[in-house]
Amino acid sequence: MGRSRVICAAMMILFNISCSLVATAHPQAAPDKSAALPDVSEVVGAWITARQWIEAFEVPRLDDEAARVPIPDAHGISVILRHRGRIVGQGHDESGDNLMLRRAVGRALSNALGDQVIARLPDEQRTLVGTSLNLELEVAGQFLPVPGRTFEQISRRIVPGVEGIALRHQQRWAVTYASQMLAMNTATNLSGLLGGLSAELGFMITDLRRTQLQDDFTVYRFRSVHLAQTSNHAFPHQVHRSGKLIMPYQVNTQSLRTTAQQLVEHLKTHQWPLEPPQAGDPDYSPPPGLRGDYNPIVDRYHPIVAPPLDQALTAYALLRYAKSRLADDPQSAQDAIAFAQRILLDLTRLNDSMQNTRAEPIASAAIVYALLELDNREDHDEFESLLSDSATRLTKFLQPDGTLKQPQPEGDPLDITPHGQALIAGALARLHVLKRPEVPARESVRAAIDAAWNSLPDHQQIGLLPWIGWAEADYAKSMVGPAPEPTRLERLLRSLEASLIRHEIRIEPDLVGGLSLTQAQAGSRPQATAQTFRPAAWMARFVAGQDNMEPVRIKALTDGHWLTIRFLQQLTVREDSKWRFQSPKRSFGGIQASPWDSKQPLAAQSMGLLTAAETLLALQEAHNH
């Protein structure tokens, strides 16, 4: 016990320091006074006891005094055991007595014994497994009832990945913890989770939106103290959804460069291996381009081959990143250019089954953006041919009003989203600036831009960024005088200012810097996801180019953008968060869909890299002037 007390004292010092830093830098992270939480020091002590049981791979008998571990204000305990990111055991208990830790750990160890890998080990090795496991411990505070008549109404009042949920029917309970939601990536569908809890209690509710809960059902939410290890030898740290909180003072130009470089390295993991996965396979040839969205929970990519739209946007982001690093890191820039060229070459060689996909106008627009950014495309006939084909495809179906007509008589109807219409308009405007022979007259380009504006009502036009902003900027280059749509762009700017999450969200400090882009429903909180980086990519350089704007406003917008860079770094898988995933190498550096959703969409990677690149380019331009 002497060694444990020394370790506990050292860890308490570390925790007190870290907690004081969080309270100073993020006052909104203070505890919610409406729900009593266990003291962190008590949870650390419980964690050390649980760690000792796990390393011995044995728990004391329930009637043994050593099994009693009191934790004041604890109403439930969840234990998750991992081996190199893979979950091998789980257990939880909500009895409310001082045996909760013993029961939860015992269930997790019993669960681990059923793991296929552990079960195959010889007996003498199985007892040593505990030393190689990571311990994740969540201790729940007070359970608070949540008002609402349907699961959908109730789910809007729960903070995903921060609060656990419990469902009670008479004296029977079903519970899921925040750590379990994050481990299985189920926090994106809280109403579905509540439906699953009702099934555990023997009730099937199929219509989660309309079915009224009976009076003997009550839904509860609860917050917790959540500790985890980055490795089996590491001290635990407090977990807040996607990882440790990034403080605003930690964000600067160098940290942004590091984040961008790590993101480029992550994108390389989307490439297919050049060598056959199994040695000696003579028929192996890698599919074209990149794999699709990555799910780090199951270590899989879907779809197997990323759509040409996502591949082209990735190439464009890589080329913009290369220009932002050409001066200070030429080797990284050249590597990014070579990577983008490989993607674009694969787009020219897509097999027959992908030809129709590549022919979509939206994909063609993204290909145009990427190829126009490639400085040496004239040296490659394949690139010039692909650019000419893509540009021709954009103009082929362009109507006088700027929209795209349906292909007749053959072909499926075009499904052009407003965001896609803006991307097409932007590509046409960029072709027009460079006086490409395939581009139509300036009036047709203007009509395409106006059609994009008109595709959404005013309050939703943020969804057209970054392409609509870049389309107006490119179109203005062919005009004499100011940009033709200053009123619309100013409205977008004000909408972005209003949607920026600053320092008001007390229990969700990881959202600071994100943009809440959807209309919040009654009773729900503002939310921000990786969709933030679409408008942020435009904002990065737009503000820097405004010579007529008041300096005070420029500073406020610039400070707000740096908060958005903080949010970008928060969503990035770092050293302190890759422990959660089966493949730390593939997940590291990737951008998660949201703080509560660990999936890594390829589109989020490209837009995040574009945001970083445009910010670095704006800093270079400011320095040069």
Token look-up 């913890």 returns 177
Instruction: List Cα–Cα distances, 523 to 504, 526, 595, in angstroms.
Output: 16, 10, 20
pLDDT, one tens digit per residue, over 539-567 is: 998 877 777 788 888 899 999 999 999 99
* Radius of gyration of the chain measured on its C-alpha atoms: 27
pLDDT, one tens digit per residue, over 182-234 is: 999 999 988 888 888 888 888 776 655 666 677 778 899 999 999 999 888 88
Instruction: Tell me the CATH number for domain 145-222.
Output: 3.30.1490.150
φ/ψ region of 595 (left if φ > 0, alpha if ψ in -120 to 50, else beta) reads: alpha
pLDDT, one tens digit per residue, over 598-610 is: 999 999 999 999 9
Global confidence as pTM: 0.89
pLDDT of 526: 80
Query: What distance in Å separates the CA atoms of residue 26 and residue 20, rounded to the nearest whole number?
Result: 10
In the chain, where are the structural domains located?
145-222, 248-624
How is residue 300 written in tokens? 């899989």
Check if the beta carbon of residue 438 is closer than 8 Å to that of residue 395.
yes
The CATH classification of domain 248-624, taken from the options 1.50.10.10, 3.40.718.10, 1.10.150.120, 3.20.20.70 = 1.50.10.10
pLDDT of 336: 96
pLDDT, one tens digit per residue, over 106-154 is: 999 999 888 888 878 777 777 788 899 999 999 999 999 998 888 888 8
List phi, psi (to 5°) of 80: -125, 130
SS3 of residue 86 by DSSP? strand
- Span 76-104, mean pLDDT? 94
Query: At 524, is the pLDDT very low, low, confident or very high (cuts 50, 70, 90)?
Result: low
Token look-up 């063609």 returns 364
- The DSSP element (H or E) to which 77 belongs, if any, is strand 76-83
Buried b vs exposed e over 418-448: b needs ≥16 C-beta within 10 Å? bbbbbbbbbbbbbbbbeebebbbeeebbbbb
Check if the beta carbon of residue 544 is closer than 8 Å to that of residue 622.
yes
pLDDT, one tens digit per residue, over 451-484 is: 999 999 998 999 999 999 999 999 988 765 455 5
Q: What is the mean pLDDT of the chain?
A: 85
- Span 298-302, mean pLDDT? 94
Query: At 354, is the pLDDT very low, low, confident or very high (cuts 50, 70, 90)?
Result: low
H helix runs in 26-99, sequence order: 40-56
pLDDT of 60: 95
pLDDT, one tens digit per residue, over 160-186 is: 999 999 999 888 899 999 999 999 999
Query: What distance in Å separates the CA atoms of residue 127 and residue 108, rounded to the nearest whole number?
Result: 15
Query: What distance in Å separates the CA atoms of residue 539 and residue 556, rounded to the nearest whole number?
Result: 13
pLDDT of 33: 47
For residues 4 and 366, the model is more confident at 366
